[in-house]
Amino acid sequence: MVTACSSEARKYDFAVSVAGGPKGWPVWVEDITFDGTWSARGGSLRGGYDHIPPGGGVVGISPKPAPRTVQARWFSFRTQTFYEVTFSLPDDLDGNLRQWYRDYPLDDYNHTLIVGFSGKGEALAWWEAFCNTCNYDRSHDFHIPLAENVVAEVVEGNPAWYEDITYQHVREGTIPLPPGMADSSAK
């Protein structure tokens, strides 16, 4: 944990993990922004959304204050739909983080903010403290949901941007051929 002057928000050392899915519902996350000031990469995601805790690709970031909001835009390959969402994280997150960093110190734990985006148009956020000195004994890990089942808004977008990747998912058997698309064997 990094402390700050009393006029500055306390900053925390954590990573961001981005999950997609659930299985069979791959997504392309175009944009993830926290508090409208900093972002994390998304890209093509096809799993981890339905795990407890959720999990995905991990992005290292510099220490940040406890985020208050998450904004994201993503594309569902299965439904050929674009989604956007803005949701708030708990008001008491900063206070909780102070406690969690005391209970799960950085010498022994990696802290991660997990955000997930479903091909069904839902979003979530979790916090995880992963024990890195426990010899694979996951019973020492800590994880808790911060926001679940957040319904996103369907928004405009051009599915043709993702046509090649959609056909790849169909060929791999990840998804069925979406309605309105020509048979992938033509590609």
Q: What is the pLDDT of residues 77-106, one digit of tens each?
A: 999 999 999 999 999 999 999 999 999 999
Q: What is the tally of structural domains in the chain?
A: 1
Say which residue, 33 or 180, is predicted with more confidence: 33
Flag the least confident range among 1-10, 116-125, 132-141, 146-155.
1-10
Q: What is the mean pLDDT of residues 26-40?
A: 96
Domain assignment present for 87: yes
Q: Does position 6 have pLDDT exceeding 80, yes or no?
A: no
Query: What does the pLDDT read at residue 143?
Result: 97
Query: What does the pLDDT read at residue 126?
Result: 98
Domain assignment present for 162: yes
Query: What does the pLDDT read at residue 5?
Result: 55
- Residue-number span of the structural domain to which 85 is assigned: 11-186
Q: What is the mean pLDDT of residues 54-70?
A: 92
Q: Are strands 69-76 and 27-34 parallel, antiparallel or unpaired?
A: antiparallel
Query: What does the pLDDT read at residue 186?
Result: 45
Where do the H-state alpha helices sit in the chain?
Answer: 93-103, 163-172
Of all residues in the chain, the percent with pLDDT exceeding 70 is 94
Domain assignment present for 20: yes
Domain assignment present for 4: no
> In this structure, are residues 15 and 61 in contact, taking their beta carbons and an 8 Å threshold?
yes
Domain assignment present for 2: no
> In this structure, are residues 29 and 117 in contact, taking their beta carbons and an 8 Å threshold?
yes
Domain assignment present for 5: no
